[in-house]
């Protein structure tokens, strides 16, 4: 990495009050960037957690700004980007991490749930790209989308996976259309990460509890790859989705001894 490459640059991480987004925001701060923390709700635990991340970033000696915004609303995204420019005067890195979806089969989704699924997880990300475009072009910026293995493997109660798959296609397309503007666009497909979403998901997918610990990934592992994709060492990577899953998706089946070994470790 070029020395001081990230210093005093500005990163916007959507959905960064907790989980993977929080880890990514802190990683940018440790690298030297100032960070905009976006969260969904203007009040309650979402606001409190965002303010906690803000304080952590400031303790690292970097600047931080908290901006509540529902990215599914284009006007809210526009106001968020205006706030970013007014605060930092630039935008170098856009990490699309925010996601919102119910845990239920697609055939059981209500109309309002389908609309929210598309508005937040597809339209919202595109709104962010559109509104941030001028700032990113001025900075030869980087866009990183946070996807998941649900984009390519069936889960009975994870309709979000279809939106993740759609966005991976958007990443490919934007890498081509924005390449002439010197904006790099890539994605990270994360494996099993034990965030708040994991704790909910295991209520609907019992088998997930039996995945060996060594095949799970940490939020920090995802954040490390986000920093890499935004850095100069990734200059030759465009329109790609990098899988970060500790090898979980390498095999359709795993030998029985693997499960037994994990049980022994727990026992």
Residues with catalytic roles? 158, 164
Helix (H) / strand (E) element for 217: namely none
Contact 234, 228 (CB under 8 A): yes
| CA distances from residue 108 to 111, 113, 159 in whole angstroms, order as listed | 10, 10, 10
As a three-state string, the secondary structure of 121-185 is: HHHHHHHHHHHHHHHHHHHCCEEEEEEEHHHCCCCCCCCHHHHHHHHHHHHHHHHHHHHHHCCEE
Nearest to 144 by CA among 264, 27, 44: 27
Token output for 93? 């890195």
Closest among 59, 62, 60 to 36, alpha carbons compared: 62
Please count the other Cβ atoms lying within 10 Å of the Cβ belonging to residue 149: 19
């Amino acid at each position: 990495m070029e020395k001081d490459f990230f210093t005093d640059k500005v990163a916007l991480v959507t959905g960064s009050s907790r989980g993977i987004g929080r880890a990514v925001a802190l990683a940018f701060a440790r690298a030297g960037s100032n960070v905009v923390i976006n969260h969904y709700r203007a009040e309650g635990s979402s606001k409190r957690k965002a303010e906690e991340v803000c304080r952590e970033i400031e303790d690292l000696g970097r600047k931080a700004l908290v901006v509540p915004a529902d990215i599914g609303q284009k006007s809210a995204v526009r106001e968020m980007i205006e706030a970013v420019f007014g605060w930092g005067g630039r935008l170098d890195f856009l990490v699309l991490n925010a996601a919102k979806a119910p845990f239920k089969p697609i055939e059981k989704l209500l109309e309002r749930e389908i609309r929210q699924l598309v508005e937040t997880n597809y339209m919202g990300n595109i709104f962010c790209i559109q509104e941030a475009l001028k700032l990113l072009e001025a900075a030869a910026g980087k866009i990183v989308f946070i996807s998941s293995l649900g984009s390519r493997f069936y889960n009975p109660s994870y309709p979000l996976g279809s939106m993740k798959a759609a966005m991976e296609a958007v990443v490919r397309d934007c890498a081509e259309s924005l390449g002439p503007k010197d904006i790099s666009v890539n994605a990270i497909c994360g494996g099993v990460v034990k965030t708040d979403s994991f704790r909910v998901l295991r209520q609907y997918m019992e088998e997930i509890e039996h995945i060996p610990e060594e095949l799970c990934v940490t939020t920090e592992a995802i954040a490390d790859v986000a920093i890499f994709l935004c850095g100069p060492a990734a200059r030759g990577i465009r329109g790609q989705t990098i899988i970060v899953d500790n090898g979980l998706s390498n095999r359709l089946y795993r030998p029985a001894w693997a499960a037994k070994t994990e049980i022994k470790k727990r026992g």
